[in-house]
Structure 1
Amino acid sequence: MTTIAQGAYHTGEYRNLFKELGYEESLIQTKLEQTWAELIEGDANTRIYYPMGEDMGYFLDTGNTDVRTEGMSYGMMMAVQMNDKNIFDRLWTFSKRFMQHTEGRYQHYFAWHCTTEGTRLSQGPAPDGEEFYAMALLFASSRWGDGPEPYNYSVQAKTILRACIHKGEEGEGDPMWDLPTRLIKFVPESPFSDPSYHLPHFYELFAERADEEDRVFWREAAAASRAYLHTACHPETGLSPEYANYDGTPAPVQRHGDFRHFFSDAYRVAANIGLDWEWFRADPWQVEQSNRLQRFFRDIAVSDYRRYTIDGKPFDEPSLHPIGLLATNAMASLAADGPDAEHFARLFWNTPLRDGARRYYDNCLYMFSLLALCGRYRIY
């Protein structure tokens, strides 16, 4: 596979790994368009998007039958990458109308999940949603231009980012970043993080597009998150825990479960590292980390993916989202330069979308990986 000395941010060139492996450009484009079409308007066993009224729609968590900021913000990022303004605006209108708080301790944050009718099931936010909303909105502003409120995308994004780091300065509430360490929190009130929330490639762009007074913060957050992942990822297996303290060690057992191990949230770390390398190439550690993770999974069948301790001991409990894990293992090939990079890219290419009740999370990760590996997950 070819390499580029600098990342796409500097060169404007995005690797198309599938083309490098010999797949025809027309076939790659068809696969991308068909996958998006299946998610948006496929049959009842495949689609995860549902229109609502004249101007709204939502991504359904098909396993839990609810609507989450994770999926809504993911869907907006996919839509802007696919140049699908209709779907983007419908998802944003639903999010704005039903999920974003207009007052109180969570003002400008989003309730992390609600019913398909828009009734909030929890008031609290999940910071991965906010960072994806902000980045997707900024890309939409660059790609399509700002429109009338609430489609003044850049203004909406800056409002979210301002709240994320200044919340609580002049009233109630908590910021979404731990200000002393510059690390994102699991939730605003928590004293620990989630390694899969760390998106230094987004923070580099926030450092150019957020309020001018906050730009140094975002540059420092990018550096802090890259350094944090060195400590959160195991030095031999490359696995990271679901939740981790600010020093990278697994967080204590929580009231809602034991998240010291490698499971569904943690799959995204490999994808995030791969995309950060593709865009910025700022941390050479990411190459060996990606090799390490792929080496761990190389001889494990997708059907045998499961929960693991971060040092690699398997649990009897199988993975709830094996296709999602395969997708992120494949997206690591953006950074990996070892013997397993081609294997995972080809295995992913030959694997279809997941169907059935648990398809939502797997297929979100699938779509992101497909975009990235064919050079279509781009900075706008």
Structure 2
Amino acid sequence: MIAMLRATVIMLVMALGCTQAFAADGWGSFKTRFMTSDGRIQDTGNKNVSHTEGQGYAMLMAVQYNDRTSFDKLWNWTQNTLKNPNNGLFYWRYIPTQADPVADKNNASDGDVLIAWALQQAGEKWHVQAYLKASDAIQRAILAQNVIPFGGYTVMLPGAQGFNKNSYVILNPSYFVFPAWRDFARRSHLQVWNQLISDGMELLAQMRFGDTNLPLDWVALNADGTFAPAAAWPPRFSYDAIRIPLYLHWYDAQNPQLVPFQRFWGGFQRLQTPAWIDVLSGEKAPYNMAGGLLSVRDLTLNETGYLNDALSSNEDYYSSSLHLLTWLAFLQQQQ
């Protein structure tokens, strides 16, 4: 009996060790494949350009995996290379093959939010005031440059330039990073973050198109509060909008705004779920979800037995990012 007990304990210890090793594999693989030695995340599906989105994703991962060395590399490269000294935000894209890699001086508000969120998490976890101070400054800049009242709502524009057309604004609902906004509200006590959450939820409730009732990657909000597909993009629920249910679930796993996604994806067998759909015509992608897209689906449908952080060798930067972010959301909800 004692021998059996000892064997059971040993097996449990081994299993725990394997689980911990397994949990480290995803981040280690991500770093090896996408992170340069100086802390730049390369979008391998897009000519190895870098985005503030990718820097923010990786910074969040580094905090979750307790990798402060990598976090510092990521943050140092980001602030030294992408920081816009004129407004406190970040140039959204870095193209390594160009003479001026940051020729486009616009920002992407989701990238700014992700960076600020990662800094806040890092500062709170590792008790580093410099991270918290940097996060606070970025949060203030986001509010000053990207958040406006429009059409009866408080909205976060996708960037400081080019999205306010006076009679309408262009929104990307996948930039509504609800769990980050909640953490900003908790730290700053500024009501505007809670207003963004409540109005963001109401916006999503209204951004339902076609028979699927799904939102689009890009949406136009008119001054009278009505919505239309943004003219410059296909009317698809696709690679941008896939992040909407991820952030919704990360914010609240029981959120009723998840229902349209659950109904749509629940209508397909898991490995036969289309990667995107044109919500107006009903045209579906000629290929199915895999990798990180499938992970978001599994999280949204609470099929958590499929979730892990083991990246497939054929997953590119974006799929791998979604894969690990879904794992982060799942882990943080268990805490």
- The answer for the alignment partner of 1:122 in structure 2 is 104
Contact 1:228 1:248 in 2 (8 A): no
Deviation of the 1:348 alpha carbon: 4.6
CA distance 1:316–1:275, change in 2 (3 Å): closer
Alignment partners' CA distance in 1, 2:227 and 2:16: 43
1:155 aligns with 2:133: yes
- Pairing partner for 1:295 from 245, 262, 266: 266
Q: Which amino acid aligns with 2:141?
A: A
- Pairing partner for 1:232 from 204, 207, 211: 207
Contact 1:201 1:222 in 2 (8 A): no
Deviation of the 1:312 alpha carbon: 7.6
TM-score by length of 2: 0.82
- Within a 5 Å distance, the mapping from 1:334-345 to structure 2 comes to 341-342=302-303, 345=304
Contact 1:274 1:286 in 2 (8 A): no
- The answer for the alignment partner of 1:360 in structure 2 is 317
Stretches of structure 2 that go unaligned for 5 or more consecutive residues are 1-14, 164-168
Per-residue CA distance 1:226-255 (angstroms, 9 max, x = gap): 22221224586353211112357343322x
Contact 2:123 2:132 in 1 (8 A): yes
Alignment partners' CA distance in 1, 2:134 and 2:228: 34
1:276 aligns with 2:251: yes
- Pairing partner for 2:37 from 51, 56, 62: 51
Percentage of identical aligned residues: 21
- Within a 5 Å distance, the mapping from 1:27-66 to structure 2 comes to 27-41=18-32, 47-52=33-38, 57-64=39-46, 65-66=48-49
Contact 1:293 1:329 in 2 (8 A): no
- Pairing partner for 2:58 from 57, 61, 75: 75
1:176 aligns with 2:146: yes
Contact 2:218 2:229 in 1 (8 A): yes
Deviation of the 1:376 alpha carbon: 3.9
Greater share of residues in helix: 2
- Pairing partner for 2:81 from 89, 93, 98: 98
1:249 aligns with 2:232: no
Stretches of structure 1 that go unaligned for 5 or more consecutive residues are 1-23, 42-46, 167-174, 334-340
Q: Which has the larger radius of gyration?
A: 2
Contact 2:274 2:285 in 1 (8 A): no
- The answer for the alignment partner of 2:276 in structure 1 is 307
- The answer for the alignment partner of 1:131 in structure 2 is 113
Deviation of the 1:25 alpha carbon: 5.4
CA distance 1:288–1:315, change in 2 (3 Å): closer
CA distance 1:263–1:34, change in 2 (3 Å): same
CA distance 1:244–1:36, change in 2 (3 Å): same
- The answer for the alignment partner of 1:286 in structure 2 is 257
Paired residues, what number?
Answer: 307
